[in-house]
Amino acid sequence: MTKHDSHAIADVHHELHSHLPPEPALRAKALESLLVEKGMVDSAAVDAWIEAYSEQIGPKNGARIIARSWVDAEFRARLLADASEAITDLELQQGHLIAIENTAELHNLVVCTLCSCYPMGLLGMAPTWYKTAAYRSRSVREPRVVLDEFGVGLSADIRIKVWDSTAELRYMVIPQRPAGTDGWDEEKLAELVTRNSMIGTERDLSKYVGAQS
């Protein structure tokens, strides 16, 4: 009967894992590279999946919520009162979600100062800049300057409120509905909504109206 040395097996296990990259992202990349090399995964398919999730699936869910709030005042009120409950109307789920709306006098900006808490199922994959220490710290200290760097130039009479996401709370900005969209249906309106506008690093969506007209 074959005998197994548990200590030797543990040493082998430790040795194998010691060669893996320390960061989860690097580990995932190493695994992807190995699977591609073995012909078990198509790298183009992986890229397409990432692109779909980051630019389509997630942001489109959030955009549907925003579009519904623009055309349905009752839904908008419920969204502001209890966003997690309201979005179930669209067969979406996100616990501890708080919706905050931009107005002519107020602009909202979302940040996670401690990490990168983010409603990925509604907004897609978090952008790289959202996770950087510079964005997380400067958005709190100098939000007007940060917004200006994103191309959001706000007049002095517009107040800025910064919301800090946590493991228990997720925030989503409701941008203002652009002028010239009267009579548009939800599907068409949703095409105007960007991921950045739901984070607060974009404000004026009117520039997209012409492309959808």
pLDDT in tens, 113-162: 988 888 988 998 888 899 999 999 999 999 999 999 999 999 999 999 99
Give the CA distances from residue 83 to residues 48, 88, 132, 160, in Å, rounded to whole numbers and listed in that order: 31, 9, 27, 21
The pLDDT value recorded for residue 19 is 52
* Class of the domain covering 43-212: alpha beta
DSSP, res 114: S
The arithmetic mean of pLDDT across residues 60-82, rounded, is 97
The pLDDT value recorded for residue 16 is 47
Of 54, 84, 116, 206, the active-site residue reads 116
115 is catalytic: yes
pLDDT tens column, 30-43: 777 777 777 887 87
The arithmetic mean of pLDDT across residues 33-62, rounded, is 74
117 is catalytic: yes
6 is catalytic: no
Position 18 confidence tier, pLDDT thresholds 50, 70, 90: low
- Rounded-to-integer distance, Cα 175 and Cα 202, Å: 9
Of 6, 18, 43, 115, the active-site residue reads 115
Q: For residues 86, 92, 95 and 98, what is the CA-based torsion angle, rounded to 10 degrees?
A: -50
Which letter, b or e, does each residue of 80-116 get, where b requires 16 or more Cβ atoms within 10 Å of its Cβ?
A: eeebbebbeeeebebeebbbbbbeeeebbbbbbeeeb
Position 85 confidence tier, pLDDT thresholds 50, 70, 90: very high
Residues 6+ apart with CB under 8 A from 123: 58, 59, 61, 62, 172, 195, 198, 199
Query: Are residues 100 and 171 in contact, defined by beta-carbon separation less than 8 angstroms?
Result: yes
116 is catalytic: yes
Q: Which of 9-13, 48-52, 64-68, 208-212 has the lowest mean pLDDT?
A: 9-13
Of 69, 117, 139, 165, the active-site residue reads 117
| Averaged confidence pLDDT in the chain | 86
Residue of higher predicted confidence among 10 and 202: 202
Q: What is the pTM of this model?
A: 0.76
Residue of higher predicted confidence among 166 and 43: 166
Position 22 confidence tier, pLDDT thresholds 50, 70, 90: low
Q: Which of 27-36, 66-75, 146-155, 192-201 has the lowest mean pLDDT?
A: 27-36
Domain ranges of the chain: 43-212
Of 33, 43, 54, 112, the active-site residue reads 112
